[in-house]
Amino acid sequence: MRFSLIVLVWFVAARLGRADVPAELAAALQQFRSDVPRGWSFTQTTSAEGKSTVERSDATRPEFERWTLLQKDGRPPTPDETRAYAVGRSRRSRGGTAPKLAEQLDLSEIERVADDNQRAMFRCRLKPAENGDQTATYLRAIVVVHKPTHTIESIELRSTGPFSPTFGVKITELSTLMTYSLPSAEIPSLPQKVATSVRGTAFWFKSLDAGLLVVFSDYASDVKKNRPAGK
């Protein structure tokens, strides 16, 4: 009897300490991915601090040959820039996969911020991405779910106030907004934009103010992805 009582108390405590994930958010997270799905080619335009690059990822080519530099700072790249880009991209391709943002959302405490027939907005904390991560503690995630399609339409990571992730660095404001398209019968949800803004200082005098914008466009499906394996 005593053992049964202990088990019952443990079970009740566990239930009280665990927040149930709202059904629409759980359904959207189940099929969410932050990067471009395999089998899709796309153009990626990155702009930051007055500089820009336009790159093309071709899903029909081998893994280490998929990326091509189309433009650099609004002009065609030079041969040296093209060679340097190819070497750099090859090294980055070996580095691993994109971060799994959905796994970093702390679903133990979820706040429903807004809700209507089409969309629901939720706010939650972030788990540290890796050992030594000093930033996640100071961020909150705002997730917008498109309820009819069970799709995450946007995720915004925003700082809750000034913080110091490391000695000598003070961040007064940090935000990243990631947006995704709504799926159709033939096209899945795809990344559209990533906009990051940071304001802060390093060692009390050097400005860290910066902005980064990544735009995904010209998506094309690789028809060969549906062919039988080994063909």
DSSP secondary structure, 10-29, as one string:
HHHHHHHHSPPPPHHHHHHH
141: number of CA atoms within 13 Å, CB side? 24
* 193 is a domain residue: yes
Please name which of 220, 221, 217, 222 lies closest in space to residue 43, comparing C-alpha atoms: 217
Sign of CA dihedral 76, 79, 81, 82: positive
Q: Quick check: is 212 in a domain?
A: yes
Q: Is residue 54 part of a domain?
A: yes
231 part of a folded domain: no
Residue 61: its pLDDT value, please?
92
Question: Closest Cα to residue 216, out of 80, 87, 43?
Answer: 43
Residue 120 neighbours by CB distance under 10 Å: 20
pLDDT band at 92 (very low <50, low <70, confident <90, very high): low
- In this predicted structure, the answer to whether residue 134 has a pLDDT above a threshold of 80 is no
Question: 96: pLDDT confidence band, cut at 50, 70 and 90?
Answer: very low
Q: Give a yes or no: residue 9 inside a domain.
A: no
Is the confidence at residue 109, as pLDDT, over 60?
yes
What pLDDT does 231 receive?
A: 35
206 within some domain: yes
At residue 163 the predicted structure's pLDDT band, cuts being 50, 70 and 90, is: very high
**For 171-208, how does the pLDDT look when each residue is reduced to its tens digit (9 = 90+)?**
999 999 999 999 998 899 999 999 999 999 998 889 99
Average pLDDT over residues 39-68: 94
Structure confidence at residue 223 as a pLDDT band (50, 70, 90): low
Better pLDDT: 200 or 17: 200
> Is the pTM of the predicted complex or chain greater than 0.85?
no
CB-CB contact of 120 with 25 (8 Å): yes
The range of the structural domain enclosing residue 148 comes to 23-217
Mean pLDDT of 28-54: 94
Q: Please state, for a pLDDT cut of 70, what percent of the chain lies above it.
A: 83
Position 227 in a domain: no
Query: Number of folded domains in the chain?
Result: 1
Residue 14 counted as domain residue: no
DSSP letter for 147, please: G
Angle at 142 between CA 141 and CA 144, to 5 degrees: 140
Rounded distance between C-alpha atoms, residue 136 and residue 76, angstroms: 38
